Amino acid sequence: MVREMENGASSDRHEQRKNQLLDVATRLFAKYGLEGTTTKDIAREAKVSPGLLYHYYTSKEELLLSIINRFKERSREWQENSVDYHNLEARAGLIQLVNAFAADVQRNRDILHVIMKAAATFPSVREVLIKFKKADDSPLVKFLKEKIASGELRDVGATLLAHCLRHIVVMLVLSDFDDDFNLDIPALVDIFLNGVHNPESKR
């Protein structure tokens, strides 16, 4: 029992340290870019030795891949827990979900810039983004599948629809440099629904 408790405490410390290093790397990558940040910078900012950093992450590329994985999971959980889209009609549910996604992109726009740029340089980054795209279990995809199954939306593929919406939001948010930028989500959803709404639906 004592050994199990010690192992559990050691595992918790291990995860806390990994998350601390990811937090620091995320902040520095977002501020200085991938090229402008060294592993020594990360170790110094985290107040650990370079050797300890390498014990957890062998390179900046591995750090970035871990940041991407954590971002995806946290983003999915945040949208799932913060948006009450269940039992809503298509327009109302999409406005809530796209609003939540756009807010998440806005909050993380600096590190997302870094990720998009790295995808053009590192095959491993590109591959993990493609993997996420193929195995999309986001609340937006789930909601669109429900609306397609109910007949409210035409079946042109829930994953494809979700990707189109998200790509539009990401491009609009990341390409805008105005701090007062305000994306008109209801208008975007209305434009989107004009192409996929089923005229035979009564809802």
Q: How many residues does this entry show for the chain?
A: 203
What are the two backbone dihedrals, phi and then psi, of residue 22, each rounded to the nearest 5 degrees? -65, -40
Q: What is the mean pLDDT of the chain?
A: 85
- Alpha helix (H) residue ranges in 49-184: 50-56, 60-82, 90-107, 109-119, 123-134, 139-149, 158-174
Please indicate, yes or no, whether the overall pTM of this predicted structure exceeds 0.75.
yes
Tokens representing 15 are 């995860």
pLDDT in tens, 116-173: 889 888 899 999 988 888 878 888 999 999 999 999 998 888 998 999 899 899 888 8
Distance CA 156, CA 39 (A): 45
pLDDT in tens, the chain (203 residues): 545 544 555 678 888 999 999 999 999 999 999 899 999 999 999 999 999 999 999 999 999 999 999 988 888 887 778 778 888 999 999 999 999 888 888 888 888 889 988 988 889 999 998 888 887 888 899 999 999 999 999 888 899 899 989 989 988 888 876 555 577 899 889 988 887 656 566 55
User: What residues form DSSP beta bridges with 4?
Assistant: none
Using a 10 angstrom Cβ sphere, with 0-12 exposed, 13-18 middle and 19 or more buried, the burial of residue 170 is middle
